[in-house]
Chains A and B, each alone.
Chain A
Amino acid sequence: MRRTLKKILANRYLALIFRLYLGGLFIYASMYKINYTAEFAETIASYQIIPYWGVNLVAVGLPWIELVCGALLLLGIRSRSAAALVCFFLLLFTAGIAVNLIRDAPISCGCFHTLGEKISWRTLVRDILWVMMILHVLFFDRVFHLEQKFSPAFRVYL
C-alpha cells in the first residue's frame, strides 16, 4: 500500500499534469497583471516586501517572467529551470501572504485580480499546495519535453 502510494506520488505523469497545470496557471495569472500594471504595482506595494523604488519595475517585469515560465512549463523547454524559478516565486508569494497575514494587513492577494480577493489562510494553503506541486515537478518531471523532440538524435537518448 505504502509502496503503491509512493509509486503514485512519484509518478512522472502526475508531475506532467502538475507541470501543465502550473504552466497554464502562471500564463493566466500573468495576463491580468500585464494589462493592469499600475494596479499590480499597488498590490506589490501593499505587501510591503519590495522596496519603494523597485515596485514599478517588479510590476512591469514579474508578469512577463511568469508568462515565460508558464509557457516553458507547458512546452517542456528548460522546464526544470522554469520550475525552479516558479518555485522561487511561489515561495516568495507564500512568504508574503504569510507575513501579511501575520501583520493582519487587509490587502488583496493580487494573484489573478488586483481587486477583490483578500489574502487569507486559505490563500496561504493554496499557495503552499502550488509549492508542493512545483516541487513534485522539479523532482519527478521526465516526460513530454518538447525540447527533447526537436531532433531525432534526442529521441535516441530518451
Chain B
Amino acid sequence: MIAIESTPIKLNGGTSHQERQDSSRKSCGDREARHTLIANLRHELRNLLNAIIGLSDILLEDMNEAKGDDPAPDIFADLFYVNQTGKQILAVISDILDPGKIEQDQCKADFHGTWDALHDRLRPTLRNLLSRAEILLAIAREAQLQSLIDDMNIICSSAKKLNTVIEHLAFPPGFSGMQSVEPDTNPNGADTVHEIVGVIGSMNSFSPQRKEQRSFILVVDDDKTNRDLLCRWLNREEHTIIAAENGREAIDLLARHDFDLVLLDIIMPEIDGYQVLRHMRSTGRLQDVPVIIISAFDEADSAVRCIEAGAEEYLTKPFDKNMLKARVKACLQNRIERNKRVRELNAHLDSKAHQLQMTEEELGASRHEVEVLEEKTARIQSAVRQEIEKTRRISILDILVIVGCGLILGLVFNAANPGAVKLIPTSWSAEAPVFSDIDSAKAKLDTKSALFVDARPSEYFKRGHIPGAVSLPNTLFDFIYAMKLAELGPETEIIVYGRDISRLHDEEAASRLRARGHRNISIMVDGLPAWQKRGYPLEK
C-alpha cells in the first residue's frame, strides 16, 4: 500500500500537494496554482491509464493477429473489457478534471467536490477493472503465457495504483496530499540507463542500407511502462528503437547517433522534455530531426509551448495507437522526403560546386592568359612606342644606315657599270709626274717646243687659258684627244695644268696621256694663277 499520510505527493511542478493546497487556500481564486495542481493530477492519472490502455491494446492486437490459434476466447473478452474500462475511466477523469469546469468552482481550494466526484464515479469501475485484470493474470499464470503474465502484471500494478490514488483522494480534510506515484520498477530490478528494444544488432553495426530501410527512433520517457509500450508499438512497425529514461541520457544519445525521429516525454527528472527539445533545436545537426511529444499533459498551453519550441506533433497519454502510428509515419515520411530533397539539393549543390570549381579553374586559366597577353601587349606597346619615338627623332643609326646603304649601292652599281670611275686615283698607281716650273713653261711656249693642255673644266678654259693650249677636261678626254691630239708623236712634250683647282684635273689628264703612249709629259707647278701672277699672257 502507498503511505498516503506520511509522504506528500510530489507533483511534477516541484511543489507538494499540501503546499499547493495551502497556497491555494491562502490565495482563493489563484487560478495559476489550481491549474497546475489539476494538471499534475491529471498527468499522473493519465500516465497510469496509458499503461493499462496501451498494454491491453497491444495484447488485443496480438490476439487479433493470432485469431485462428486463440486457445482462450475469454481472455480476449476480458482484455477487451479491461481496455474499454480503461478508456471509460479516462473519459471520466477528463470530464471531472476538465480545467474549464473546475474554473467555474472558483473557491473550492480543497477540491472536495472534485475528489468526491472522482471517488464516486471511478471506484466501482476501477474495482471491476482491477478484478478483471487479476482474473486475467490468474488465467495467464495458469496457462503459463509468460508475455501475457508480464503485461498483466503491469496492468494490475497500474490499476492498483490508480485505485489507491482515487481512494485517497476521498479523504478530506485529513488528506494532505498524494504520494508520488512511483514509476513501476523493473520486475527484474534492472534500472537500466537505456534499453534497446527491438534493436537489431548494436548501434555500431548499423549499416547505411539497414538504416535506409528501418527508421531509427529515440523514445524518451522516464516511465518504464510508457517507454516499453511505445517501443513495442514502434517495433511492430519495423522501426529500430532506442529508449532513454531521461533527458540527459537522451541528449547523450542524440550526440552519438543520428535519429530519424524522437518521441519525447515532457515531465522527466533532471532534464525535462522542453530542455531536450530546446537543445535539439539549438544544435545544428539535430535541428531537422522531427520530435513528437507524448505527454500526459493534455492542456493546450503545453501543446502550444512544445509546438512553438519546435515539436512536430503533440500526443497526449494515453495515446491512440493508430494516431501514434499515423503521426510517426507522417513524421518519418516527411523526414524521408526532406532527406531526399536535401540529398537532391546536395547533389545539385555538388554539381553546381563542381561547375563553379571548373569555372574558377577556367577563370584562373583565362586570368593567367589575360595576364600573359597583357604582359605581351605591354611589351608590344612599349616596342611600338619606342619605334614611334624613333620615327619622330633623328637617329644617328638611321643616318649611318642610309649612308651605308647608299655607299654600298653606289659601289655595287659602279662595279657593275662599264663606264665606272676608279675609286682610287689613277695617278696614285702611275709613275710619279714630272713637274715644270712657270718660267721654263713660258720659255717652251715662246719657242713653241711644247703643247700646253688645259685639264680644267671647259668653263675655266673659256674664262682664260695659256695661248695655244688645248682644253682637255677629263669628262671629254677621249673625244677631244681623238679630235685634236691623236696625231701627236709620242715624243712631243706636253705640259698639263689645272692643279690649282684639283689634282684630278692635271694628274688624271697626265696619267691618261701617258697611257696613250706620250712619254714627255710634265705638270706645270701652281697652275694658271701662278702664270697670271708672273704677268704672262692669257688668251680668252
Contact = CB atoms under 8 A, between A and B. Distances in A.
Do A and B form a real pair?
A: yes
Interface of A: 34, 37-39, 41-43, 45-46, 48, 52-53, 55-57, 59-69, 72, 78-82, 84-85, 105-108, 114, 118, 138, 145, 147-148, 151, 153-154, 156-157
A66 B406 contact: yes
Contact of B419 (A37, A61, A81, A147): A37
A37 B414 contact: yes
Contacts of A65: 402-403, 405-407, 410
14 contacts: A38-B419, A38-B475, A41-B421, A41-B504, A53-B428, A56-B424, A60-B411, A60-B414, A62-B410, A67-B409, A72-B402, A81-B394, A106-B460, A153-B380
Contact of B422 (A56, A67, A84, A157): A56
Nearest to B377: A153
B475 A108 contact: no
A48 B399 contact: no
Contacts of B474: 38, 42
A65 B502 CA distance: 24
Nearest to B503: A52
Instruction: Label chain B's interface by main secondary structure.
Output: helix
Given A106-B462, A106-B463, A148 B388 contact: yes
B501 A45 contact: yes
A38 B402 contact: no
B449 to A, nearest CB: 30
B475 A39 contact: yes
Contacts of A107: 457, 459
B393 interface: yes
B247 interface: no
Contacts of A60: 407, 410-411, 413-414, 421, 423
B67 interface: no
Contacts of B237: none
B511 to A, nearest CB: 13
A81 B399 contact: yes
A61 B462 contact: no
A37 B421 contact: yes
Q: Which of B384, B388, B403, B504 gathers the greatest number of chain A CB atoms within 10 Å?
A: B504
A78 B403 CA distance: 13
A20 to B, nearest CB: 17
Interface string B102-123: 0000000000000000000000
Contacts of B393: 80
B534 interface: no
A154 B475 CA distance: 50
A42 B504 contact: yes
B423 A64 contact: no
Contacts of B419: 37-38
Interface string B454-496: 0001011011000000000111000000000000000000000
A111 to B, nearest CB: 15
Contacts of B64: none
A61 B474 CA distance: 20
B388 A81 contact: no
A57 B406 CA distance: 11
B440 interface: no
Given A61-B403, A65-B407, A78-B398, 13 more contacts: A46-B501, A52-B425, A57-B423, A59-B421, A61-B406, A64-B405, A64-B409, A69-B406, A79-B391, A106-B462, A108-B459, A153-B381, A156-B384
Contact of A157 (B384, B395, B407, B414): B384
Interface string B417-461: 101111111001000000000000000000000000000010110
Nearest to A52: B503
Contacts of A59: 421
Contacts of A39: 475
Contacts of B405: 64-65, 68
A45 B380 CA distance: 50
B405 to A, nearest CB: 5
